[in-house]
Amino acid sequence: MKLFLREQSPLIVIYLAQLLMITLVYRLDGSSGVNVSLYAGLLSTCLLLAYLAYRYFSNRSFYERLLNLPASLDDSGGPAQSSPLAESLRRLLAHQFRLYQNDLHSYRHKLEEHIHFINQWVHGMKTPLSVIHLIIQDKDGPPFTAIGDELDRLKKGLDTVLYTARLDTFEHDFYVERLELAAVVRGVTSEQKRLFIRKRVFPAITVENGLLITSDEKWLSFVLTQLITNALRYTVEEGRFVHFHGYTGEQGRPVLEVRDEGVGIPPGDLPRVFDAYFTGVNGRSFQESTGMGLYLVKQICGKLGHEVGISSEVEKGTTVRIMF
């Protein structure tokens, strides 16, 4: 009703002006019939109110639709009313919605093609890496060790690209099952043994026996790999440990803590460590930082239904906690 009255306010003002003018004409003409003037004004006002009532009820749903924002795209059509104004608005909105859907479909198709290309490219790059690894695996000497280390870095980079591209289609590429947490942790640390050896840092695993979790092994392994990579990257002293502590937390929920003994994270950076591409103060000292590791950890755990928390103390280390 308020919107309707605001729209009709010019008509009401013009009506009152012309009513005043006609009354003045009657008075200037010498007529003293005040009652006649009032009666004429009353009839004219009744006609105005009847017109406004007709306009309001014939376009009531139109005004209500303008005031109530749609909750979804499917609810964004015009008002279902047969008045010319409402019908024109419905046709306009329907045309705009079709144009929007066409553009959205086009962009979605391009995005799917891009993701498909990234997946194919990453898989294509993994083949020569595997071949190079087979060539040098029986070779000894510092050059071949350095080549193996660089191959590991390339493989981790390709995995990061692949999993980042798959985030938007996560629901098509995961399989939830019951897993033994200790077996998953030992499997990932075994795969990263070359990195542990190169950094001269040791994994320390203390997981409750028989502690089971519900998760996707492939995605969870990638998450743990990111945490291990971060922990080793920011552990500058040799002979340190990366601790993996699995236990049953509150309400019987399994919890895994990954704690390093590295440089730690400044308090001012902690609220932003899960943001994409955020490297913070440590990123200026460690050139390999990309700012994507913890971002991917947060995104993947969120899609798996796990909660992630982090705490840190400068010069003492960082703890990442995953609650399943």
The per-residue pLDDT for range 206-228, each reduced to its tens digit, is: 988 889 999 999 999 999 999 99
Distance of CA 148 to the CA centre of its chain: 36
Distance, CA of 202 to CA of 200 (rounded, Å) = 7
* pLDDT reported for residue 289: 75
* pLDDT reported for residue 14: 77
- Using one digit for the tens of pLDDT, what is the confidence trace for 28-82? 656 556 666 676 667 777 777 777 787 777 677 776 776 676 666 665 555 555 5
Query: Looking at the whole model, is its pTM more than 0.85?
Result: no
* pLDDT reported for residue 180: 92
* pLDDT reported for residue 181: 92
* pLDDT reported for residue 77: 54
Spell out, as residue ranges, where the chain has pLDDT lower than 70.
1-4, 7, 21, 24-37, 39-41, 58, 63, 66-67, 69-86, 287-288
Distance, CA of 306 to CA of 214 (rounded, Å) = 10
Q: How many CB atoms lie within 10 A of CB 240?
A: 19
* pLDDT reported for residue 122: 79
Distance, CA of 312 to CA of 317 (rounded, Å) = 6
Distance, CA of 310 to CA of 260 (rounded, Å) = 12
* pLDDT reported for residue 86: 65
* pLDDT reported for residue 242: 92
